[in-house]
A and B are shown apart, each in its own frame.
Chain A
Amino acid sequence: AQSVTQLDSQVPVFEEAPVELRCNYSSSVSVYLFWYVQYPNQGLQLLLKYLSGSTLVKGINGFEAEFNKSQTSFHLRKPSVHISDTAEYFCAVSVLPFGNEKLTFGTGTRLTIIP
């Protein structure tokens, strides 16, 4: 079975500073990887996803993530954060082959932007 680890439960960052949110996964087969964001009192929204192809994936709101198969990681980055990026960020993994997919979420990282 697959699993996802988000080591940092909380990350405080100054406004306009860069940020990296870490995500590592465990799976014995090929995976699909996702980052979702949850703003306060809202449902989740997809930021970006890796299915295949280029390992550098660009998403909405200036975020990007890089799939590193050898390190089983999919870290999320943004070069300059804004107050509006304050939210909880979830990494998720789904395994192949299709037919019995499961989507497993990490425990989330709360990103707090300091003015």
Chain B
Amino acid sequence: DAGVIQSPRHEVTEMGQEVTLRCKPISGHNSLFWYRQTMMRGLELLIYFNNNVPIDDSGMPEDRFSAKMPNASFSTLKIQPSEPRDSAVYFCASSLDGITDTQYFGPGTRLTVL
């Protein structure tokens, strides 16, 4: 298996622009997670899907952030409008079933908002 695939790997945008991050989980995995990693706040769970349904989005910072999982093989994390404080590495991870199953992380998307 190719593992968790994320695109783009790097994104540089200007404040106010819309940003869409993409994730393809490992085939057969039922759970998908979006994380954000910054020096100041460390690794934070933003949202967690199980069987394409959002289970916990309490980590989503504010209404500017939204995530979707239209099918078992694709998820997006959208930021609109983007702000400089959104600059971070965003990771997608998947697991067979649930948050305590081994999570397999993608390589991450490094987002820079100018």
List the interface of chain A (C-beta within 8 A of B).
32, 41-46, 49, 51, 90, 94, 98, 100-108
19 residue pairs A–B, Cβ–Cβ below 8 Å: A42-B105, A43-B4, A43-B93, A43-B105, A43-B107, A44-B103, A45-B105, A46-B102, A49-B102, A94-B99, A101-B99, A101-B100, A102-B45, A103-B99, A103-B100, A105-B42, A105-B43, A105-B45, A107-B42
List the interface of chain B (C-beta within 8 A of A).
4, 42-45, 56, 91, 93, 98-100, 102-103, 105-108
- B88 CB, min distance to chain A CBs, angstroms: 14
- B59 CB, min distance to chain A CBs, angstroms: 9
- B92 CB, min distance to chain A CBs, angstroms: 8
Closest residue of A by beta carbon distance from B42: A107
- A56 CB, min distance to chain B CBs, angstroms: 19
In the assembled complex, the Cα of A115 lies from the Cα of B19 at a distance in Å of 42
Q: Are A102 and B106 within 8 A (Cβ)?
A: no
- A58 CB, min distance to chain B CBs, angstroms: 15
6 closest residue pairs by CB, A with B: A43-B105, A101-B99, A105-B43, A44-B105, A107-B42, A46-B102
Closest residue of A by beta carbon distance from B105: A43
In the assembled complex, the Cα of A104 lies from the Cα of B56 at a distance in Å of 13
Instruction: Select B42's contact among A41, A103, A108, beta carbons within 8 Å.
Output: A108
Closest residue of A by beta carbon distance from B43: A105
Q: A51-B100, A94-B100 are in contact. Are A103 and B105 (CB under 8 A)?
A: no
Closest residue of B by beta carbon distance from A98: B98
In the assembled complex, the Cα of A45 lies from the Cα of B3 at a distance in Å of 12
- A75 CB, min distance to chain B CBs, angstroms: 19
Q: Are B56 and A44 within 8 A (Cβ)?
A: no
Closest residue of A by beta carbon distance from B106: A43
Closest residue of A by beta carbon distance from B92: A43
Q: Are A102 and B100 within 8 A (Cβ)?
A: no
Closest residue of B by beta carbon distance from A45: B105
In the assembled complex, the Cα of A32 lies from the Cα of B103 at a distance in Å of 14
In the assembled complex, the Cα of A100 lies from the Cα of B91 at a distance in Å of 21
In the assembled complex, the Cα of A90 lies from the Cα of B103 at a distance in Å of 13
In the assembled complex, the Cα of A94 lies from the Cα of B48 at a distance in Å of 14
Q: Are A32 and B93 within 8 A (Cβ)?
A: no
